[in-house]
Amino acid sequence: MRSSPAAVRGTGSTGADRRHGVMLRLVGAGVMLTVMADTTATTLAVGVLRYTPAGAGMPLGDLVWLTSAAFIPIAALLATAGRWADLFGRRRVLAVGLVVFVLGGIATVTVEPWSYVLAARAVQGAGAAAMIPASLGLLLGELPESQRRGAIALWSSASGLGCLLMQAGGGWLAATVGWRALFVPDVVIGVLLLIACVALPSGRRSTTKGVPDVLGAWLLAAGIAVVVLAISKAMAWGMDVLWLALAALALLGGAFAQARHHRLPAIDLALWRRPRFVWGWLATWGFGALSYGLLTVQPLYLLHLGYPMLEVAMWLTPTSVAVVVTSFLAGKLLKRVGAYGLIYAGSLLCGGACVLVLTQAGPTVWGLVASVVVGMGVGALAPGTSVATTLAARPHQYASAVGAATMARMVGGAVGVAVVSVVIDHPFMTGPFAGLAGALALCVAISVLIGALALTKITRLRPDPGDVMIKVPRRLLLELRMTLATVAAEADALLPVETRTPSADPHLDPVPRPRTAEPGPLAGTRGHTH
C-alpha cells in the first residue's frame, strides 16, 4: 500500500517539506484570522450604526442582518464546500473561496444602498464557506499525524488573534474613517493569502470517479439557509416562521435522500455514522451559540453605557488576548485532559464570567476580570471543539468534517446572535440593563448545557471499574512468545548437554532432542501426544 505524503514527511523531513509545513500553517492560520476579524468587524459595525446617526431609525433586528447576511451562506455552504474540497482538491477550493471573499469585501466597502451591502456580505460569506474547510483540510492532510493537534490549536488561536487585531485597530478605524473601513483589512489580507496559495501543495483528491451530487448540494445549502433565516426572523415574522421550518425539513430530507443513493453525495453519511463526530458536532453547535452571543453582547453593553468606540475597543482587547494565549496553551494540554476536558473547562469559565458580570452595576475591575475569563473560556472551547470533531474523521474526510463542524458553529452563532438581539429589544427581566442582563443569563444557560454534554462524554469514556479483563492484542502476545522462546534457547545453550531439560512446550524448545534422551515425566507425555 502506498504511503501518504504526510506519512512520508513524518519519517524523513526535508528542507522543502519544512517550508511547506510553515507555509501551510501560515495560510491556515491566516484564513481563520481573516474570517474572525471579519466577524468582529461586523459586530463592531452593528454597534457603531446602533449608536450613531448613520444607523438612526433602524431597529437592532435589521442592523444585525449585517452579521446574518454572511452567516446564512457560510452555514449553508460549509458542509458542501468541505465535501467538494475533498473531492476536487483543497488548494483549488481555497483559492476560489479567497477570490469570492475579496470581491465581496470590495463591494461591502464601496456600495451605498443597504440592500447591496447585505448582498455583498452574503458574497463574502460564500467565500468564507469555501476557505475554512479547505484551509484546515489541507493543513491536516499534508502534516504528519503527530503534528495535527498542534496545527488545530494554532488554527483555533488565530481566530482569537484576528478578533484581537480588529478590536485593537477597529475602534480607531471606525472612529476616524467610518464603519465601512472596518472591512478594508480583510480585503488586504485576503489578497496576500491568495498570492501565498501558489506555494501550497495541491492536497490529496479523492480517487473516486464520477459526477458529484449537485442537486443534493443545492438542497442542503437551501435547507440550512432557510433554517438560519427562520431563526433570524422568528420574532419579526411570528407564526409564518412555521412555514419556513416545514420548508427546511423538506429540503434537508431531500438532501439526505440524495446522499443515500448517490455515488458522490453532498453529505458524507459515513462521517455521521461515527458517534465521536456527532458528539463533537453538538458541542460545536453550542460553542457557536455561546461565543457569537457573547461577541454581540460585549460591545452593545459598553456602547449602551455611553463609552466612545476607542474605549470600547480597549475594554474588549483583554478578552481577545486571553483567547490567543489560552488557545495556544490548550494545544499543549490536549493530550493530558482531552478534547472534552477542555470543552468542560471552557464552559465553566464562560458561564462563571457571565454570572460575575451580572452581579456588577457597570464596568468595574471585576468586569475586566470577567472579560479575561470569557476569553480563557472561548480559548479552551475553540481547540477542544475543533479536535473533538475533526480528528473523529478519517484523513480523506478532513475537509468534510471541518465543513460540517464549522457549519454547526455558524448555525449556532446565528441562533446566538438572533436570540441575543431579540432579548435585548424585548427583555424578560427588569432594571436599567434588562435586555443585556437577559442576554447574559441566556449565555449562562448555554454554558451549562455545553458543560453537561462534555461531562456526559467524559463519564462515558471512563472504563468500568468492575471490568478487570485486559484485552491484549494478538500481535503483542506473539511478540512475547517469540521473546520467551529466544530467552529459553539462549539459557539452554549455556547449560551442559547432560543437564538440559526438555521444555513442556515443544514450540518454545528450539533445541532438537535426540529420541534416545532419558525420558522424563514430560517426555512421556510428549511421546504420547505425538
Confidence band, pLDDT 50/70/90 cuts, at residue 498: low
Asked if the model's pLDDT at residue 119 lies above 80, the reply is: yes
Asked if the model's pLDDT at residue 102 lies above 90, the reply is: yes
Query: How many angstroms separate the Cα of 200 from the Cα of each of 26, 148, 246, 438?
Result: 10, 17, 43, 47
Output 55 or 121, whichever has higher pLDDT. Answer: 121
Burial of 221 by CB count in 10 Å (0-12 exposed, 13-18 middle, 19+ buried)?
buried
Q: Rounded distance, CA 100 to CA 74, Å?
A: 12
Question: Is 527 part of a structural domain of the chain?
Answer: no
Residues 6+ apart with CB under 8 A from 58: 49
| pLDDT per residue as tens digits for the range 189-210 | 999 999 988 877 765 555 555 5
| pLDDT per residue as tens digits for the range 77-96 | 777 777 778 777 888 888 99
Average pLDDT over residues 321-342: 83
Asked if the model's pLDDT at residue 3 lies above 60, the reply is: no
Query: How many angstroms separate the Cα of 80 from the Cα of each of 220, 333, 405, 432, 512?
Result: 8, 32, 12, 45, 66
End-to-end CA distance of the chain: 42
**Closest listed residue to residue 34, CA positions, set 191, 241, 209:** 191
Residues 6+ apart with CB under 8 A from 335: 149
Q: Are residues 89 and 145 in the same domain?
A: yes
Average pLDDT over residues 51-73: 72
Question: Is 66 part of a structural domain of the chain?
Answer: yes
Query: How many angstroms separate the Cα of 192 from the Cα of each of 104, 130, 197, 307, 355?
Result: 16, 17, 9, 35, 42
**Closest listed residue to residue 417, CA positions, set 312, 313, 294:** 294
Element containing residue 186 per DSSP (H, E)? helix 184-196
Task: Check residue 482 and give its pLDDT.
Answer: 65
Task: Check residue 189 and give its pLDDT.
Answer: 93
Q: Are residues 70 and 22 in the same domain?
A: yes
Residues 6+ apart with CB under 8 A from 345: 337, 377, 380
Q: What is the CATH number of the domain that holds 369?
A: 1.20.1250.20
Confidence band, pLDDT 50/70/90 cuts, at residue 487: low
Question: Is 28 part of a structural domain of the chain?
Answer: yes
Q: Rounded distance, CA 286 to CA 290, Å?
A: 6
Task: Check residue 450 and give its pLDDT.
Answer: 93
- Total domain count for the chain? 2
Residues 6+ apart with CB under 8 A from 240: none
Confidence band, pLDDT 50/70/90 cuts, at residue 504: very low
Asked if the model's pLDDT at residue 275 lies above 50, the reply is: yes
Question: Is 215 part of a structural domain of the chain?
Answer: no
Which range of 135-149, 204-218, 509-523 scores highest in mean pLDDT? It is 135-149
Average pLDDT over residues 325-337: 80
Question: Is 118 part of a structural domain of the chain?
Answer: yes
Q: Give the SS3 label for residue 503.
A: coil
Q: Rounded distance, CA 154 to CA 27, Å?
A: 11
Average pLDDT over residues 401-421: 78
Task: Check residue 124 and give its pLDDT.
Answer: 92
Q: What are φ and ψ of residue 268, in 5° steps?
A: -80, 95
| pLDDT per residue as tens digits for the range 138-190 | 877 777 777 777 777 777 678 778 877 887 777 778 778 888 888 999 999 99
Asked if the model's pLDDT at residue 108 lies above 70, the reply is: yes
Share of the chain above pLDDT 90, in %: 11
Task: Check residue 510 and give its pLDDT.
Answer: 46
Query: How many angstroms separate the Cα of 114 from the Cα of each of 42, 63, 67, 154, 222?
Result: 14, 10, 13, 36, 23
Residues 6+ apart with CB under 8 A from 115: none
Q: What are φ and ψ of residue 248, in 5° steps?
A: -65, -45
Q: Give the SS3 label for residue 525.
A: helix
Q: Are residues 367 and 497 in the same domain?
A: no
Output 500 or 287, whichever has higher pLDDT. Answer: 287
Ramachandran assignment for 434, one of left (phi > 0), alpha (psi -120 to 50 degrees), beta (any other): alpha
User: Residue-wise over 191-208: b if at least 16 C-beta within 10 A, else e?
Assistant: eebbeebeebeebbebee
Q: Are residues 416 and 496 in the same domain?
A: no
Q: Are residues 491 and 454 in the same domain?
A: no
Mean pLDDT of the chain: 75
Q: Are residues 357 and 482 in the same domain?
A: no
Q: Give the SS3 label for residue 490.
A: helix
Average pLDDT over residues 248-271: 79
Question: Is 525 part of a structural domain of the chain?
Answer: no
Q: Are residues 105 and 199 in the same domain?
A: yes
Asked if the model's pLDDT at residue 333 lies above 70, the reply is: yes
Which range of 3-7, 269-273, 301-305, 510-514 scores highest in mean pLDDT? It is 269-273
Confidence band, pLDDT 50/70/90 cuts, at residue 297: confident
Q: Are residues 24 and 158 in the same domain?
A: yes
Grid coordinates belonging to 214: 449537485
What is the domain range of residue 494? 475-510
Task: Check residue 154 and give its pLDDT.
Answer: 76
Confidence band, pLDDT 50/70/90 cuts, at residue 97: very high
Q: Rounded distance, CA 343 to CA 353, Å?
A: 15
Q: Are residues 25 and 123 in the same domain?
A: yes
Task: Check residue 448 and give its pLDDT.
Answer: 92
Q: Are residues 19 and 121 in the same domain?
A: yes
Q: Are residues 401 and 457 in the same domain?
A: yes
Q: Are residues 353 and 483 in the same domain?
A: no
pTM assigned to the model: 0.63
Task: Check residue 484 and give its pLDDT.
Answer: 57
Confidence band, pLDDT 50/70/90 cuts, at residue 11: very low
Task: Check residue 470 and give its pLDDT.
Answer: 37
Question: Is 406 part of a structural domain of the chain?
Answer: yes
Q: Rounded distance, CA 20 to CA 200, Å?
A: 7
For the stretch 299-303, contacts whose Cβ atoms lie closer than 8 Å and that sit 24 or more positions apart, written own/partner, are 299/43, 299/44, 299/46, 299/47, 300/46, 300/47, 300/50, 300/424, 300/436, 301/433, 301/436, 302/363, 303/47, 303/50, 303/51
Question: Is 256 part of a structural domain of the chain?
Answer: no
Asked if the model's pLDDT at residue 271 lies above 70, the reply is: yes
